[in-house]
């Protein structure tokens, strides 16, 4: 290296922080990372988003409508939109994370708003606060679900309410609605939660909830029947009216009862049991005698002539006691020329009404045959003259020709019959009506009118008007007479003493007179008369003492 050559500078890179990166950038980066962490934390801590399908929005507003459980907010509606088929409403709600474990398949949702109908008035608070979505779940966590279908109506019984649910079936819905009360001995113990048709569409099913502890009074023999609020009954004892409840008067209701025999069994205490719902209390009580398998005890009875008025359900009576019912009335046209039309009824006996609980078909046949041998026959009789209804009676005809059960007839064996009394009763009624029509009603009415007119004239006459004054005068005269009798009564003892003294003096005089003389005979007769008069006065005094009015009344 020459001394004239300039020295070249040597530059070295400094170790440490790059010169283009400043420490001031660390602060915003840290803030950005913290915000990202907060966003993630907020996202991860928020509750699940669920979808609820409603028939209509019903006042639900996104961002405002809350999801409540026991009046506590547990979620908020985030969006409301129509479904793809435009037939329903899809509501998306964000639930609180603490309730997420309980949102499972048993969770139920429904909209709460003001409801006013025949069975309830509820949700009036929503008129001010707005509608909200109510949620109901059980107290045990389950597998989480995110899609639900809302209930059309709120459940009438909160989940977890102690009691028992049963199902009733009836021929028609009648006057029983959802929310109708259930009574036991006129105390409200439950309600009807739902009514629907059976799968085959032949019956109406009612889902009923009976609260505890009243569900312990439901036995296998319990009978349920409909009540309309007022039940009227007319029988031989008179007319009776029963009012079950004022609420049932407007909404209908259901009641149940168990006879004394049924209460000896153990209570049912089992959910989803099925019972038949009867139309009335009387029908329910009559059903106690119905037993499964009574269709084994069916027989036929063939009658002569018309059986108009005999219907399905007409009673079978023996000595005034119902022992069965008519289950069918059939007519078979002639099978050929010269044959007659067959008119017969199918009779179903109920052994329970006869006190026979353990009897089979052979035993019933043997029992009926023994009575038939003694003259028992089936007779068609009049049940009600006003309606023209007919009933079937078992009557005793000891002089009837020998007969028996004909097992060759189809579809059931035939019982021997006797002539009907319907024609005789009808003839008697016609005769009575004819006699009534022949009565001189015009003259009778005219005579009754004259009688009433004369009675009115008599009541308004002067003599009747003066009658009170005459009665008053007569009473005053009787009072005066009673005073005189009382005064006379006080003198009777003195008169008796005088008569007795006279009789004694007469006895002394007689002692000194010869019995054969005329004076003795006359004095003796006088003494006897004095003694008789004293006795009569004594008896008269006793009568007046016992009954002071005897002199006036003559008794």
3-state secondary structure of 132: strand
Residue pair 53/90 in contact (Cβ under 8 Å)? The answer is yes
**Enclosing domain of residue 83:** 49-149
The CA distance from 502 to 521, in Å, is 16
Residue pair 74/135 in contact (Cβ under 8 Å)? The answer is yes
Is residue 108 domain-shared with residue 174, that is, in the same domain? no
Is residue 421 domain-shared with residue 505, that is, in the same domain? no
Q: Where does residue 293 rank: exposed (0-12), middle (13-18), buried (19+ CB within 10 A)?
A: exposed
Question: Residue 121: phi, psi to the nearest 5?
Answer: -130, 115
Q: Where does residue 376 rank: exposed (0-12), middle (13-18), buried (19+ CB within 10 A)?
A: buried
Q: What is the pLDDT of residue 235?
A: 47
Question: Which among 89, 122, 149 is the end of a domain?
Answer: 149
65 assigned to some structural domain: yes
The four Cα atoms 209, 217, 175, 188 give a dihedral, to 10 degrees, of -80
The CA distance from 286 to 11, in Å, is 120
536 vs 80 pLDDT, higher one: 80
183 assigned to some structural domain: yes
Work out the average pLDDT over 250-254. 78
The four Cα atoms 21, 27, 33, 34 give a dihedral, to 10 degrees, of 170
Work out the average pLDDT over 514-521. 58
State the total domains in the chain: 4
Nearest one of 364, 363, 360 to 323, comparing CA atoms: 364
Work out the average pLDDT over 508-534. 61
Q: What is the pLDDT of residue 283?
A: 86
Is residue 311 domain-shared with residue 232, that is, in the same domain? no
How far are the Cα atoms of 148, 175, 242 from residue 246, in angstroms, in the given order?
39, 14, 11
452 vs 545 pLDDT, higher one: 452
Is residue 420 domain-shared with residue 485, that is, in the same domain? no
pLDDT tens profile 403-412: 999 998 888 9
pLDDT tens profile 22-41: 667 777 777 788 777 777 76
Work out the average pLDDT over 68-85. 91
Residue pair 485/548 in contact (Cβ under 8 Å)? The answer is yes
Confidence of residue 248 (pLDDT cuts 50, 70, 90): low
The CA distance from 389 to 227, in Å, is 26
Is residue 74 domain-shared with residue 132, that is, in the same domain? yes
The CA distance from 428 to 72, in Å, is 79
Confidence of residue 452 (pLDDT cuts 50, 70, 90): confident
pLDDT tens profile 327-353: 999 888 877 777 777 888 999 999 888
Residue pair 218/164 in contact (Cβ under 8 Å)? The answer is yes
Question: Which among 394, 428, 462 is the end of a domain?
Answer: 428
Question: Which among 413, 428, 443 is the end of a domain?
Answer: 428
Residue 288 has pLDDT above 50, yes or no: yes
The four Cα atoms 116, 122, 125, 131 give a dihedral, to 10 degrees, of -80
Confidence of residue 454 (pLDDT cuts 50, 70, 90): confident
Q: Where does residue 169 rank: exposed (0-12), middle (13-18), buried (19+ CB within 10 A)?
A: middle
Is residue 258 domain-shared with residue 168, that is, in the same domain? yes
Q: E strands along 425-497, which residues?
A: none
- Bridge partners of 395, per DSSP, are 377
Is residue 284 domain-shared with residue 317, that is, in the same domain? no
102 assigned to some structural domain: yes
Residue 237 has pLDDT above 50, yes or no: no
The CA distance from 381 to 393, in Å, is 7
Is residue 344 domain-shared with residue 383, that is, in the same domain? yes
Residue 467 has pLDDT above 70, yes or no: no
Q: What is the pLDDT of residue 363?
A: 92
Residue pair 380/307 in contact (Cβ under 8 Å)? The answer is yes
Q: E strands along 350-475, which residues?
A: 376-384, 389-396
| Cβ count near 415 (within 10 Å) | 23
Is residue 196 domain-shared with residue 142, that is, in the same domain? no
Share of the chain above pLDDT 90, in %: 27
Instruction: Return all residues near 509 (Cβ < 8 A) that are at least 6 apart.
Output: 523
Is residue 418 domain-shared with residue 509, that is, in the same domain? no
pLDDT tens profile 289-313: 777 778 889 999 988 877 888 888 8
| Cβ count near 258 (within 10 Å) | 19
Work out the average pLDDT over 106-116. 82
Number of H helices, E strands in the chain: 10, 24
Residue pair 347/301 in contact (Cβ under 8 Å)? The answer is yes
Instruction: Return all residues near 306 (Cβ < 8 A) that are at least 6 apart.
Output: 343
The CA distance from 447 to 462, in Å, is 25
11 assigned to some structural domain: no
The string of DSSP codes covering 306-332 is --TT--TT-EEEETTEEEEEEEEEEEE
39 assigned to some structural domain: no
Confidence of residue 58 (pLDDT cuts 50, 70, 90): confident
425 vs 525 pLDDT, higher one: 525
Q: What is the pLDDT of residue 382?
A: 82
How far are the Cα atoms of 38, 471, 549, 552 from residue 478, in angstroms, in the given order?
120, 11, 10, 7
441 assigned to some structural domain: no
29 assigned to some structural domain: no
Residue pair 350/291 in contact (Cβ under 8 Å)? The answer is yes
Is residue 302 domain-shared with residue 421, that is, in the same domain? yes
With b meaning 16 or more CB within 10 Å and e meaning fewer, what string describes 177-208? bbbbbbbbeeebbbbbbebeeeeeeebbbbbb
Q: What is the pLDDT of residue 485?
A: 56
Per-chain mean pLDDT for the chain: 78
Residue 138 has pLDDT above 70, yes or no: yes
Q: Which helix (H) or strand (E) holds 32?
A: helix 26-45
pLDDT tens profile 481-506: 666 656 655 665 666 666 566 666 65
Instruction: Return all residues near 365 (Cβ < 8 A) that are at least 6 apart.
Output: 405, 413
Residue 263 has pLDDT above 60, yes or no: yes
pLDDT tens profile 163-185: 999 999 999 988 888 888 999 99
Work out the average pLDDT over 79-86. 91
Q: What is the pLDDT of residue 24?
A: 73
Residue pair 237/278 in contact (Cβ under 8 Å)? The answer is no
9 assigned to some structural domain: no
| Cβ count near 491 (within 10 Å) | 9
Q: What is the pLDDT of residue 445?
A: 74
Is residue 405 domain-shared with residue 304, that is, in the same domain? yes
Candidate ranges 150-159, 233-242, 422-431, 529-538; pick with highest mean pLDDT? 150-159
């Amino acid at each position: 290296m020459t001394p004239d050559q300039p020295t070249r500078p040597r530059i070295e890179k400094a170790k440490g922080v790059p010169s283009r990166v400043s420490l001031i950038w660390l602060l915003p980066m840290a803030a950005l990372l913290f915000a990202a962490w907060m966003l993630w934390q907020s996202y991860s801590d928020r509750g699940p988003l669920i979808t609820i399908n409603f028939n209509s929005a019903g006042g639900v507003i996104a961002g405002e409508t809350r999801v409540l459980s026991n009046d506590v907010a547990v979620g908020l509606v985030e969006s409301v939109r129509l479904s793809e088929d435009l037939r329903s409403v899809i509501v998306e709600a964000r639930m609180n994370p603490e309730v997420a474990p309980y949102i499972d398949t048993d969770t139920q949702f429904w909209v709460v708003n003001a409801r006013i109908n025949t069975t309830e008035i509820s949700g009036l608070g929503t008129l001010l606060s707005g509608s909200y979505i109510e949620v109901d779940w059980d107290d045990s966590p389950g597998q989480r679900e995110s899609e639900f279908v809302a209930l059309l109506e709120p459940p009438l019984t909160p989940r977890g309410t102690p009691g028992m649910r049963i199902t009733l079936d009836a021929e028609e819905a009648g006057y029983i609605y959802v929310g109708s009360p259930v009574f036991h001995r006129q105390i409200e113990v439950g309600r009807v939660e739902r009514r629907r048709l059976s799968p085959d569409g032949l019956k109406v099913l009612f889902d009923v909830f009976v609260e505890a502890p009243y569900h312990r009074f439901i036995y296998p023999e319990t009978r349920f029947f409909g009540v309309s609020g007022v039940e009227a009954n007319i029988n031989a004892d008179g007319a009776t009216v029963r009012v079950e409840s004022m609420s049932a008067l407007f909404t209908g209701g259901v009641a149940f009862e168990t006879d004394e025999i049924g209460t000896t069994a153990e209570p049912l205490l089992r959910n989803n049991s099925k019972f038949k719902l009867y139309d009335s209390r009387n029908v329910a009580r009559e059903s106690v005698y119905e037993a499964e398998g009574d269709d084994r005890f069916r027989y036929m009875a063939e009658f002569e002539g018309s059986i108009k008025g005999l219907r399905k359900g007409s009673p079978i009576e023996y000595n005034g006691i119902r022992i069965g019912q008519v289950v069918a009335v059939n007519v078979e046209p002639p099978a050929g020329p010269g044959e007659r039309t067959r008119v017969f009824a199918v009779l179903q006996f109920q052994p329970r009404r006869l006190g026979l609980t353990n009897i089979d078909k052979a035993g019933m046949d043997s029992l009926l045959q023994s009575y038939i041998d003694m003259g028992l026959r089936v007779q068609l009789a009049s049940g009600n003259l006003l309606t023209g209804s007919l009933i079937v009676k078992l009557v005793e005809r000891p002089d009837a020709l020998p007969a028996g059960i004909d097992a060759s007839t189809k579809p059931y064996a035939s019982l021997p019959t006797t002539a009907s009394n319907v024609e005789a009763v009808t003839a008697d009624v016609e005769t009575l009506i004819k006699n009534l029509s022949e009565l001189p009603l015009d003259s009778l009415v005219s005579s009754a009118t004259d009688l009433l007119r004369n009675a009115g004239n008599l009541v308004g006459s002067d003599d009747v008007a003066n009658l009170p004054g005459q009665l008053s005068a007569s009473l005053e005269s009787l009072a005066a007479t009673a005073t005189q009798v009382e005064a006379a009564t006080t003198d009777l003892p003195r008169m008796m003493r005088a008569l007795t003294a006279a009789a004694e003096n007469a006895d002394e005089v007689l002692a000194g007179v010869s019995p054969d003389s005329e004076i003795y005979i006359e004095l003796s007769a006088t003494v006897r008369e004095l003694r008789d008069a004293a006795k009569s006065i004594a008896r008269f005094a006793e009568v007046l003492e016992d009954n002071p009015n005897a002199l006036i009344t003559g008794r």
